[in-house]
A = this chain, B = another copy of it.
Amino acid sequence: MAENTVLDAIDAAILRELQNDARISNKDLAARVNVAASTCLERVRALQRRGVLAGFHADADPAALGRPLQAYIAVRVRPHNRDVVEPFIRFVLDLPETIALSHIAGADDFLVHVAVRDAAHLQRLLLDGFTSRREVAHLETQLIFSHIRKWDIGPM
Contacts and interface: CB of A to CB of B under 8 A. Distances in A.
B96 A149 contact: no
B57 A56 contact: yes
A115 B65 contact: no
A54 to B, nearest CB: 5
B93 A151 contact: no
Interface string A28-68: 00000000000000000000001111111111111011110
29 contacts: A18-B57, A18-B58, A19-B60, A21-B57, A22-B56, A50-B64, A52-B61, A53-B59, A54-B60, A54-B61, A57-B59, A60-B153, A65-B155, A66-B155, A67-B153, A72-B104, A93-B148, A98-B150, A101-B148, A101-B150, A102-B144, A102-B147, A103-B145, A104-B143, A105-B143, A106-B143, A108-B142, A111-B142, A115-B153
A139 B17 CA distance: 34
A99 B110 CA distance: 18
A23 interface: yes
A81 interface: no
Interface of A: 6-7, 15, 18-23, 50-62, 64-67, 72, 89, 93, 96-106, 108, 111, 115, 117, 140, 142-151, 153-156
